[in-house]
Amino acid sequence: MDFDLPGEDHPYRKAVREWLEAHPEPSGRELAEAGYVAPHWPTPWGLDADPIQQLVFDAELQRSGVSRPMNPIGIGWAGPTILHAGTPEQKDRYLMPLLAGEEVWCQLFSEPQAGSDLANLGTRAVRDGDEYVVNGQKIWTSLAQFSTYGILIARTDPDQPKHQGVSYFICPMDAPGIEIRPIIEMTGVPTFNEVFLTDVRIPAENLVGEENRGWSLAKVTLGNERVSLSSGGALWGMGPTAEDLLDIVRAHGGTRDARLRQRLARLHIESQLLRLIRLRTVTAAIKGEPPGSEASIRKVMADEHGQHIMELGKDLAGTAGLCNNVGPFGGDPGSWAHGFLFSPALTIGGGTGVVQRNIIGERVLGLPHDVDVEQGLSWAEARRGGA
């Protein structure tokens, strides 16, 4: 792979710069219609951009201080799944508002009894004429309270094995029968929610792909989740990076503490490894290849890297770090105080680090399947020695 980015005079770069000069403060809709929100998507939603073009777009947007719309679940997970399996009508209706950030999306996957073992889900969807009637409970649903739509998986045939008989829906979050109860995290912020669904009627046209074939689409969603969760800053692509922390350390004249210096060097090594893995993952994703095992490896590394950044930022605050309103070297907390409290969630959300390691063990190293798959037991049952 050639990591050199096109030079200053390259036509892609010039075209983006000219567009940004003409649109110095673009709206989400303008960015979406220009194809700059997800340039690797096909036209008219993206620009069919190859990996190098995408990196150029990213660099130019960053240079101009232009941010893409904030809709992580919509752009990162719902959109790619609709692109993959949606009808032309679904693509026309949902993709552009989603890219523009005009309609925020959430992900209604996890349930109290179905997290790592997601195929254990119990939410039911029963066909009734031109609608499905949905009953069940979802949990840990990030952004549900702000969302227009949710991607929902529900069981449509309970008689089939657990990885089958599951269907994938677009769920309007204002449908009668949906109750959203925020959960307050230790950060003090209610990012995620419990969502109760009681006789919720979803039009049959909101089914994505075929009935009972939703599990393979959920895997498309989760595969894309692994790519998009792990890019950029320490907190799933947001917040400060290792380089930001190193800049703060340099600005304060460095540190002579041998252990902190070792940890800073380790952070730098991790960030460089992640940068290289990201280039490989992005290349595969943009070529239209399914996200491979590198995505799982990257997620494990990136989530732990995020925790290392936040823990080191806290330790660099010294004893003042015992307070929650102090950043590294006792400075302005910025996103550090929130980030430190949020960072334990990094190795849980989107699949725990332990489960990701299982996937790497099986798919990359060719080790035997998890006991769950071998014996039809849930992990908890297996730990107890059987059902």
Ligand X SMILES: Cc1cc2nc3c(=O)[nH]c(=O)nc-3n(C[C@H](O)[C@H](O)[C@H](O)COP(=O)(O)OP(=O)(O)OC[C@H]3O[C@@H](n4cnc5c(N)ncnc54)[C@H](O)[C@@H]3O)c2cc1C
Q: Residue number with the shortest CB distance to ligand X?
A: 115
Cis peptide upstream of residue 44 (ω within 30 degrees of 0): yes
351 binds ligand X (CB under 6 A): yes
Least distance from ligand X to the Cβ atom of residue 306, Å: 12
The verdict on whether 179 is a catalytic residue reads no
- Piece in contact with ligand X (CB under 6 A), picked from 14-22, 90-98, 286-294, 353-361: 353-361
Q: In sequence order, what DSSP letters do the residues of 282-310 get, joined into one string? A: HHHHHTTPPP-HHHHHHHHHHHHHHHHHH
Shortest separation between residue 76's beta carbon and ligand X, angstroms: 11
Q: 300-329 burial string, b = 16+ CB within 10 Å, else e? A: bbbbebbbbbbebbbebbeeebeeeebbbb
Q: Are the beta carbons of 170 and 94 closer than 8 angstroms?
A: yes
The residues, ordered by sequence, that sit 6+ positions from 84 with a Cβ below 8 Å of its Cβ are 217, 220
Told to check if 233 binds ligand X by CB under 6 A, we report no
234 binds ligand X (CB under 6 A): no
Nearer to ligand X, 16 or 300 (CB): 300
Bridge partners, residue 151, by sequence: 107, 170
DSSP letter assigned to residue 17 = H
CA distance 194 to 340: 24
250's tokens: 């340099």
Q: Could you say which of 301, 341, 348, 360 contacts ligand X (CB under 6 A)?
A: 348
**Residue 207 φ/ψ, nearest 5 degrees:** -70, 130
Question: Least distance to ligand X from the beta carbon of 152, Å?
Answer: 9
Residue of 132, 140, 169, 329 that binds ligand X (CB under 6 A): 140
169 sits near ligand X (criterion: CB under 6 A): no
Question: Is residue 111 within 8 Å of residue 80, measured between CB atoms?
Answer: no
The least CB distance from residue 346 to ligand X, in Å, is 8
Q: Indicate which single residue of 54, 71, 81, 142 sits in contact with ligand X (rule: CB under 6 A).
A: 142
The count of residues interacting with ligand X (CB under 6 A) is 22
Residues 71-110 close enough to bind ligand X by CB under 6 A: 106-107, 109-110
Which of 225, 243, 374, 381 is the catalytic position?
A: 225
**Which lies closer to ligand X via its Cβ, residue 327 or residue 350?**
350
- State the minimum distance, in angstroms, from the CB of residue 267 to ligand X: 22
Q: What residues are paired with 237 via a beta bridge?
A: 233
116 binds ligand X (CB under 6 A): yes
Of the pair 55, 170, the CB lying nearest ligand X is at 170
How many angstroms separate the CA atoms of 180 and 192, rounded? 10
The residue within the footprint of ligand X, chosen from 53, 81, 141, 221 (CB under 6 A), is: 141
The single residue among 6, 115, 177, 361 that binds ligand X, judged by CB under 6 A, is 115
Q: How far apart are CB 2 and ligand X at their closest, in Å?
A: 36
> Pattern 179-198, binding to ligand X, x per CB under 6 A?
-------------x------
Q: Does 358 bind ligand X (CB under 6 A)?
A: yes
Residue 178: name the closest of 193, 196, 163, 205 by CA.
196
Binding residue for ligand X (CB under 6 A) from 51, 74, 79, 350? 350
Nearer to ligand X, 252 or 363 (CB): 363
Closest approach, Cβ 118 to ligand X, in A, equals 7
Which positions ≥6 away from 234 have C-beta within 8 Å? 240, 241, 242, 305, 306, 309, 310, 339, 343
Q: Which of the 8 DSSP states describes residue 75? A: I
Contacts of 316 (CB under 8 A, 6+ apart): 245, 248, 249, 255, 260, 328, 329
Residues annotated as catalytic are 225
Binding site for ligand X (CB under 6 A): 106-107, 109-110, 115-116, 140-142, 192, 345, 348-352, 354-355, 358, 370, 372, 379
